[in-house]
Amino acid sequence: MSTALQIQPDTYGVLGPSLATLRGRWEAVEVAADALAELAQLGTHDIEIAREKEPDFGALHGAPHADLIAQAVADLAAMMQPGLRALIAIASEGRRADAAAATLWHEYAEARAAIAELCNR
């Protein structure tokens, strides 16, 4: 899990971050969010609501806000990485992590919604 969230160096072209880099980071964030949802003991309905809108990264080619979105995705990954690691450590000790995981999930869901909104403009 931790390797999925490791930040990779940016690959920038003339028109901003590469689509492959952005999609790769996004996929890593989504995999981490799946683990987070499990730790938070969320139901399918909560997960579906948070993922209602999918960001359209393909529409970003040459968009003036592409760099902003790439940074937002990198920031989201960086925000989730230490929190998820701590929650996994807590859960592995047999302690409850669901309340803290739900709080981190809420932050993820809000950031995800903002990223999707920016992408789909």
Look at residue 1 and tell me whether its pLDDT is greater than 60.
no
Q: Is the pLDDT of residue 46 over 70?
A: yes
Write down how long the chain is. Answer: 121
Q: What mean pLDDT is predicted for residues 7-14? A: 44
Section 87-109 average pLDDT: 96
The label of the residue with tokens 């499990």 reads 38
Percent of the chain with pLDDT over 70: 86
Burial of 6: CB neighbours in 10 Å, binned 0-12, 13-18, 19+: exposed
What mean pLDDT do residues 45-50 have? 91
Of 5-14, 27-36, 79-88, minimum mean pLDDT range: 5-14
Residue 17 pLDDT: 60
Q: Is the pLDDT of residue 6 over 60?
A: no
Task: List the beta strands (DSSP E) in the chain.
Answer: 12-13, 16-17
Q: What is the mean pLDDT of the segment spanning 76-80? A: 94
* Pairwise CA distance, residues 100 & 86, whole Å: 10
Per-residue pLDDT averaged across 55-64, rounded? 80
Reply yes or no on whether the pLDDT at 106 is more than 80: yes
For residue 1 the two structure tokens come to 């899990």
Chain centroid to CA 92: 23
Can you give the residue ranges of every domain in the chain? 23-119
The better pLDDT of the pair 6, 92 is held by 92
